[in-house]
A and B are shown apart, each in its own frame.
Chain A
Amino acid sequence: MKSYRPYKYRDRYKWLTGKLYKTGMLLFCITCSFTSRQQKDKASEYNMKAAFIYNFTKYIEWKPSLDENEFTIGVIGPSPINDPLGEIVKTATVDSKKITIKRFSKPADISFCHILFISRNSGFPLEDILAKTNGKGMLIISEQDGYAGLGTAINFVIVNSKLKFEANTKAINAAGLTASSQLLKLAIIVK
C-alpha cells in the first residue's frame, strides 16, 4: 500500500507535467506559425509595393547619375518593404544596372537615390524630406492618404482591396523626370 501511493502520485504528477508540456509545445508552435503567418500577410502588401516600385523603373526616363553602374532605391523609416526589396536586389536589375538599397533613419541623412520610398512609419514631416530631395532627379514614393497632393511623385492607395497608385505629374516633372504616358494612364492623376 505504502509503495503504491507514492507511485500513483508520481504517475499523476508525470501525467500532468506531460500534458502541460505538450500543451505548451503546441501553443509555442501555434504562436510561432501564427507570427509567421502575420509576417506573411504583411509581406504580401509590401511584396506588391516592392513589385510596383520595380515596375515603375521601366516607365521613367531617369536622369544620368554619378554612379552609372548602380540603381539605388532609398527607404526612409522602418518598413516591411525592406525584405521584399532585399529579395529583388538579389536577382533583378534596372537597365542592366545592379540595384542597391539605402536605408535612411532621418531626413538629414538622405543622399541621392533614384527612388525614395517614404515609409508610413517614418514619422518625419514631409516638408523636411521634400526639402532634401527637391530637383535632384529622385522619384519620391509614399504610402499615406493625401501625400501625392502634398508633393510626392507617386502615392500608393488601396481601392477595393487592390493596390493602386496616385501620380503627381507636377512633382515628377519638378524632379526632372519624365513618366511615360503608359504609366500615367494607369495612375490616378493628382493635381
Chain B
Amino acid sequence: MKKTVAFALCMYAIVITHLNAQTKDSVSQLLHLSIESLMNIPIYSASKTSESTFEAPLSSSVVTRDQIKRAGCTSIMEALRLVPGVIVREQTNGNYDIHIRGLDNIPPNSNLIFFTSSTTLVMIDNYPVYNYLHGGTFWETLPIDLNDVEKIEVVRGPSAALYGPNAVSGVINIITRKPDKEGLYSVANALAGSYNSIIANASVGYKRTDKISAVISGNFQNRNRTGSDYYDPFTGKYTSLDSVTAVKLNPQGVANVNQRYPHPDLAMRKYAVNGFINYSAAPKIHFSAALGAQHSLVQKEFATDSYSPALTTAKSDTWYGSIKGDINDCMIQLSYLNGTQSPLLGASIWRWNYNTLDAVVEYKISPIKNLSLTPGIMYRRAVYDDSKYVNTAIKEGLWSGKAESVTKAVSLRADYKLFNQKLRVVGGGRADMFNYPDKTYYSYQLAATYKFNDRNLIRVVHSKANRTPLIIDLFSNLDITGPLNASQTYLLEVRGNKNIKLLTSGMFEAGYRMQVTDNLQFDLELFTTTTRNFSYTIFESGAFNATGPVGFSGLLDLNNIAVYTKQWGGTLEANYVAGSWQIRPFVTLQKTMLYDYSPYANSPQAPPIPADNNNPAMYNIYSGIGTKIKHRATPACYGGAYINWKACSRLNVNLNPWFYSNQTQLESSNLTYKDGQRGVENIKGKLMMNAAVLYTIKNKFTLTLTCRNCFNNKSREFYRADAPALMVFGGVNVEL
C-alpha cells in the first residue's frame, strides 16, 4: 500500500512539475516571437471561443467549419445535427427533412407537401434561399457545399423582426468562407463511401493584401439510395417500382414511368459552381459579390400525385447573383435567384420557372452612446410561372400562369447597452406590406440580457413573427377533371385565397448562461410558443348534376384552419473543454399541443361525402373547436453531442451521437383507411452514432475516415422514406 501511495505521489509530482515547466517555458518562448507570429498561434480556451455566443441575446448556436470537418459531416444538412434544437430526419441518402423546434406535420393527416418545414428561414450570407412556393427549402438546390462554409449560425424562435419574414420557427444562416491569408490558396476534398456516395469539393482563392480577395469553388455529390423499394399506399407495402399500384395505373405507360424515375437507385446527384469576390475600398467601405449555378436531381419526398409513390424525383436548375455593399454605416444588399424546378419530374403540372429578387438597405446610426439604431427598407419579389409547361386555358397547372408575390417592408432595430454594459436590450420592429393579402403585418422582437458578472448571464425574449404569403396559398388555380361514371365527368376547381391570414407565431423565452469555470459552460433556454393561421386545402362547396356532361363540380380553396399550436420546451447545452478534449452535449425536451384540431378538411357548406361522415354541418374544419390533443409528430426529446479528442497534433478522433424519442407522423390516407397502418408512420426513438478519425500529414493533407450510423440502425426517420443504413466514407482533404 505504502509503495502504491509513494508511486502515486511521485507520479503526481512529476506531472505537476512537467506542466508547470511547460507553462514557464511557453511564456519565455513567446517573448521571442514577433506580433505577426503571435497572431498566427491558435489559442485554446472555451471561454473565449464561445464568448460571442455567451453574450448573444437570442437562442443561437454556431457550428464552425472546423467542427464540421472534425465531426466528419458529409453535407451541410447533416452538419445541422450538431446544432441544438434542430430536428434532422433522413429521407434518402443525403436528403433530409429539417425543422427547428418542430411545428412539423401540422395539420396532421395532411398531404406530404404539408410535412415539409415551411417556417424556417434559410439564408446564405444573409440572402434568403427560402422557397416561396410552399415555404420550405429545397436543400439539394443550395449551390454551396461544405468547402464553402465558414460557419452555420442557427437562431431558434420567431425572429422575423431581426431577420425578415419566414423566420417563424428560426433562422439558419450559412456564412461562406473568405480567404484568410494573403496569396493563393486552394482547398480540395473528396470522400467516397457506401452506396456509391462520392462527394467532391474544390475551391481556389486568392487574396491580394487586405483589400481584395476572390474564391472560385465547385462541388459534386452522387449518392445512391440505401434501398430499392417504394411504398405502395394502396397495399401498404414496400415493393419494386413496377409493382406500385399507382405506377401501374399511369395511363401514359412505361415511357412516363421512366421519365418520372430515370434513376430508381439514385438518391442524389448534384453539382454547382460558385464565385465570390470581396473588395475593401477603404477601412469602412466593403463590397462583396457572389455568383453561382447548380443542377440537382434527387429522389426525396415532397408531394405525390395519382401516379407516384411517396418518393419522387425532383430536378432543379438554378443560378443566383448577390452583391452587398457596406459603406460606412450603410448596408445595401441585392440578390437574385432564377431557376426551373420539377419536384415531381415527369408530371407536367409540377414544373415551373421562378425568380426571386431581394433588395435590402439598412443604415446604422448611433444617436447616443451605447445606443445603435438600424432603420431599414426591403423589397422582395417572387415570381413563379408555369405557363410554359401547362395549358393555362384549361387551368392545367397548379396556378396556371404567372404568380407574383411582392413584399415591401420597413424595419427598425435597436441595440442599447446600459449600466456599464451589464444590461443589453435588443429590439426590432418590422411592418410587412404585401400585394396579397392586402394587409400590413407587424412583427416584433424584444430581447434583453443582463450580465451579473463575467460568468452569469440571464436573458428574456418576447417575439412575434409571420410567414411570408405562399404562392400555393395565394395563387392556386387548377382544374382537376376525370370520369365520374360512364357518361359524365367531374370537375374540381382548386383556387388560391388572396385574403388568407399568414401563419404567425409568438414566443416568450427565458435563458440562463453560466460559465462555471473557464472550461465549462452551460446554456439553458426555456420557451413557449403559440402558432396560428395554418392553411390547408378546404372543400368549400359542390353540386351534383344528373343531366349535364359534368356530373359533379366542386370548389376547393386554400384557407386557414382552426387549429393552433402551443409548444413548451427547453434546451440545455453544456460545453466542456479540457486539454485536448471537447465535450458538448445538448438536449431539447418539448411538448406540442394542438388546439381546435379537426381532421375534416371541408367547410360546413360542402356537400356530404363519406370523408365528412356525410354530415358537413357537423364534421368540418370547425368541429374540433374546444379540443386539445398532444401532437406526436414532434419528438418530445431530441439532441446529440459533439465529443472531440485531439489525440496529438496529427490525429483527431470525434464522436457525434444524435438521438430522438418516438414520433408519429400522420398522412392523409390515415383518414381514408383508418386502419392505424396506412397513413401512419410510427418513428421509433433511436440513438445514432457517428464517428470520424482525421489524420493530418504535413499540415496540408488530411486523411478522413468517417462512419455515419455506426450501429446500422435501420429504423425509418421519415414517413415512408428509405431506411437509413451504416455508411462508411474514406477521403482526403488538401489545403495548399
Residues of A at the B interface (CB closer than 8 Å) are: 18, 21-22, 25-26, 28-29, 32-34, 36-45, 47-48, 50-52, 54-56, 59, 83-84, 87-88, 91-92, 120-121, 123-127, 144-146, 158, 160-164, 183, 186, 189, 191
Contact = CB atoms under 8 A, between A and B. Distances in A.
A80 B235 CA distance: 70
Interface string B403-441: 000000000000001001100000000000000000000
Nearest to A163: B43
Given A36-B15, A158-B51, A161-B44, A42 B518 contact: yes
Contact of B12 (A32, A41, A145, A146): A32
Given A25-B5, A33-B12, A48 B579 contact: no
Nearest to B210: A185
B177 to A, nearest CB: 11
Interface string B544-573: 000000000000000000000000000000
A166 to B, nearest CB: 12
A38 B518 contact: yes
Given A42-B45, A44-B45, A162-B41, A51 B33 contact: yes
Interface in B1-59: 1, 4-5, 8, 11-12, 15-16, 19-20, 22-24, 26-28, 30-31, 33-36, 38-45, 48-49, 51-52, 55
A186 B35 contact: yes
Given A38-B578, A41-B577, 16 more contacts: A21-B1, A25-B4, A32-B16, A33-B16, A34-B578, A36-B15, A37-B579, A47-B27, A48-B38, A50-B30, A51-B38, A55-B35, A124-B420, A125-B420, A158-B48, A162-B40
B19 A40 contact: yes
Of all A-B residue pairs in the complex, the 10 with the closest CB atoms, nearest first, are A51-B30, A125-B420, A45-B45, A158-B48, A87-B27, A29-B12, A161-B42, A84-B27, A25-B8, A47-B27
Given A41-B519, A41-B578, A162-B39, A54 B31 contact: yes
A175 to B, nearest CB: 20
A117 to B, nearest CB: 15
B517 interface: yes
23 contacts: A25-B8, A26-B8, A32-B16, A33-B15, A36-B19, A38-B518, A40-B19, A41-B44, A41-B578, A48-B30, A51-B38, A52-B35, A59-B35, A88-B31, A91-B31, A127-B420, A144-B421, A158-B43, A160-B180, A161-B42, A162-B40, A183-B35, A186-B35
Contacts, number: 132
Contact of B27 (A33, A39, A51, A158): A51
A161 B11 contact: no
B52 A121 contact: no
B283 interface: yes
B31 A92 contact: yes
B45 A146 contact: no
Given A42-B518, A44-B44, A55-B35, A161 B49 contact: yes
B8 A29 contact: yes
B518 A44 contact: no
A22 to B, nearest CB: 6
A36 B519 CA distance: 12
B454 interface: yes
A55 B42 contact: no
A39 B23 CA distance: 9
B252 interface: no
How many chain B residues sit at the interface, stated as a range, is 35 or more
Contacts of A161: 42-44, 49
B42 A162 contact: yes
A124 B454 CA distance: 12
Contact of B16 (A36, A43, A120, A145): A36
B649 interface: no
Contact of B454 (A25, A29, A120): A120
B485 interface: no
Contacts of B487: none
A134 B34 CA distance: 29
Given A51-B30, A162-B39, A87 B24 contact: yes
B306 interface: no
Contacts of B22: 40
